[in-house]
A and B are shown apart, each in its own frame.
Chain A
Amino acid sequence: MEIYLYQGLIGLTYSMYLWLLAAGLSIAFGVLGILNFSHGALFMLGAYLAFTFYGVLGLNFWLAVLLSALSVAVLGAVLERFFLRQIYNLDLPFQLLLTFGFVLVFDDLVKMAWGGMFMIPPMPPFLSGSVPIFGRPFPMYNLFILFVGVAVAVGIWLLFDKTWWGRKVRAAAWNREMGGMLGLNVPGLYMVVFMLAAGLAALGGALSIPMRPVTPGLGTAMIIQAFIVAVIGGLGNLRGAFVGAIVVGMLTVYSTMLFPLFELFLPYVVMAAVLLLRPQGLLGGR
């Protein structure tokens, strides 16, 4: 029995990565209306940058994570200002294709800059080690990720629901034109929202480096996970993304343990079932 509980905690850790990843995707879709195919690539860029700052240049771990999130947020501003802003009124296929173009570009740029090797930097010393939980050693780093995931969830919730800025964003997302007429700087809000989304993806990527190898294929692997999570929770629904992340994290851990043959298959089944039975997602309202 304890092994199931223990695995549940491992699954929750994975869920928190998925949450950090899917949160930005959901924010961008919910506010800007753009499903960003390159969101996984931004996660990957965050991982590579953090690896460089922390693993190569030897900066302080916190500083490295912060710097990589900020750099990718700035990149997000550039993407929004010069590219996304031109396609808000286009049909969906063209929006998806533009961001798919980013995926191709970033994948190759990353190969150019960092090469194709696998890299795992050392665990930051103050987060290494483990604590006994359910009779087994649970890595400190996993506890740290659980904490970050919940903190980010609370932070985003406060930001969007309790601040004046959050209200302005919700107004602009609800009705872009009306918001503009009431004097909101809608383009500016959109840019900052997309910076936030990109920065969150990079934060997830940066925090993943001591846990998983950084490779050029990371972006394409992660974007599918992000799509599954966002769809299950309801596209554009932030709370849904949190729930979706937990569903997928748990599903992955327990199916790997109980039916390893179907571990790859099951998340897609859940995704398809949600789309067919509740396209608005588990937490979406109509």
Chain B
Amino acid sequence: MGLPRLLVRVSLALLIIALVFAPLWAGNFGVYLIMQVMLLSIFALGFNLLLGYTGLLSFGQAGFFAVGAYAAALILLEVPSLLLGIAGGVLAAGLAAVILGYLSVRLTEIYFTMLTLSFGMMIFSIVTRWRAVTGGDDGLTGIPRAPLELPFISVDLSALPNYYYFVLLVTLLAIWLMHRIVNSPFGLTLQAVRDSGVRAGFVGLPIRRYRLWSFVIAGLYAGLAGALLAPLERTITPIYSHWIYSSEPVLASLIGGIYVFAGPIVGSVLFIGIKEVVVRSTEYWMLVMGVIVIALVLGFRGGVLGRFQGQQKGD
């Protein structure tokens, strides 16, 4: 490993302290941006469990993101309890991931990618056309930032900084959990499946079951990111289920590095950061992003962190 452990720990601690005090130094817009980064990080971490660790490129993750967002929104519009809304969103996305994953992991490579693309777009079609439930093209509006109901206390989250702390806590938990997952025997097995599915099968591993688990975890993370987005934006529309939106975790992971744990997180910071900086000077931020993507694929396939750590897989 490239960096000394102590240095990593100290910088992580400093980073978390800075994030805890963010409402003091970043202002409302800064806090909002940091939350965008955190949601994309969760989304991309889940996605990269599939791509970086399992070797499966999904282009339908926005579908699970949207299931999480719409389910959370529908619950919150009925019952003002944040935990219930978020949990409902995550569960709904997990359920969708179990069903669609069961079918998807039968295929690999380009066929897997095409199948996830079509599943994602099926969800998009449902979200756009099922007006009675989803509001069609207009989406759902007026989603409340409901209070956090704990056993003896109810925490008001309607102010942005309050909600920020909730999202920060959930994000840190999600990152910690993913770190545990990829470093567990399960995570190592996924990498074995990625590097050679045939060999992994020969030593007796149930490959499909591992791929399915990976798929479901990715779906749960996408659903969590979506569920957290609904009370943040208070409005959700079908664009969150479109395949173009599925490309965001793809780009974030690629920019940061798909073979390093923190790649998707660093990539999310850079993705949101670059977009924000470029949008200030020109409306053509996609052009800049496109050039970056092309340069990354041609020259730096390990992403920013891969270069740093001297890991260059995929060459």
Contacts and interface: CB of A to CB of B under 8 A. Distances in A.
Interface residues of A, number: 41
Nearest to B297: A98
B296 to A, nearest CB: 8
A108 B254 contact: no
Contacts of B254: 97
A10 to B, nearest CB: 22
Contacts of A285: none
Interface stretch (A45-53, A82-90, A130-138, A192-200): A82-90
Nearest to B294: A101
A269 B122 contact: yes
Chain B interface SS verdict (over half): helix
Interface stretch (B70-78, B113-121, B175-183): B113-121
Contacts of B113: 92, 96
Interface string B269-313: 000000000000001111101111110111001000000000000
A276 B118 CA distance: 12
A271 B122 CA distance: 10
Contact of B297 (A87, A104, A224): A87
Contact of B301 (A94, A262, A275): A94
B114 A276 contact: no
B244 interface: yes
Contacts of B314: 90-91, 93-94
B284 A101 contact: no
A114 interface: no
A109 B291 CA distance: 12
Chain A interface SS verdict (over half): helix
Contacts of B24: none
A264 interface: yes
A19 interface: no
Interface in B21-73: 51, 57
Nearest to A265: B125
A92 B110 contact: yes
A262 B243 CA distance: 18
A92 B291 contact: no
B118 A268 contact: yes
B199 interface: no
A269 B51 CA distance: 24
A43 interface: no
Interface in A72-123: 83, 86-87, 90-94, 96-98, 100-109, 111-112
Given A104-B290, A104-B293, A227-B117, A275 B243 contact: no
Contact of B110 (A87, A94, A235, A265): A235
B286 A35 contact: no
Contacts of A264: 124-125, 128-129
Given A97-B254, A105-B294, A269-B122, A261 B129 contact: yes
A166 interface: no
Contacts of A106: 290
B315 to A, nearest CB: 8
A272 B122 contact: yes
A30 interface: no
Contacts of B118: 228, 231, 268, 271-272, 275
A100 B253 CA distance: 14
B106 interface: yes
B126 interface: yes
A279 interface: yes
Which of the listed residues B113, B121, B297 has the most CB atoms from chain A within 10 Å of its own CB?
B297
A220 interface: yes
B270 to A, nearest CB: 15
Contacts of A227: 114, 117
B191 interface: no
Contacts of B51: 93
Contacts of A90: 297, 301, 314
B122 A220 contact: no
A92 B301 CA distance: 12
Interface in A201-236: 220, 224, 227-228, 231, 235
Contacts of B133: none
Contacts of B291: 101, 105
B125 A275 contact: no
B154 to A, nearest CB: 41
A236 to B, nearest CB: 10
A272 B294 contact: no
Nearest to B284: A108
Interface in A247-276: 261-262, 264-265, 268-269, 271-272, 275-276
B265 interface: no
Contact of B106 (A94, A101, A276): A276
Nearest to A260: B129
B134 to A, nearest CB: 13
A256 to B, nearest CB: 12
A83 B122 contact: no
Nearest to B292: A101
Nearest to A90: B314
Interface string B96-127: 00000001001101110111011101101110
Query: Which 6 pairs show the lowest CB-CB distances between chains A and B?
Result: A104-B290, A101-B293, A108-B287, A105-B290, A101-B294, A265-B125
6 contacts: A92-B113, A224-B121, A235-B114, A262-B125, A264-B129, A268-B118
Given A90-B301, A272-B119, A276-B107, 8 more contacts: A90-B297, A97-B250, A101-B294, A227-B117, A261-B129, A264-B124, A264-B128, A275-B118
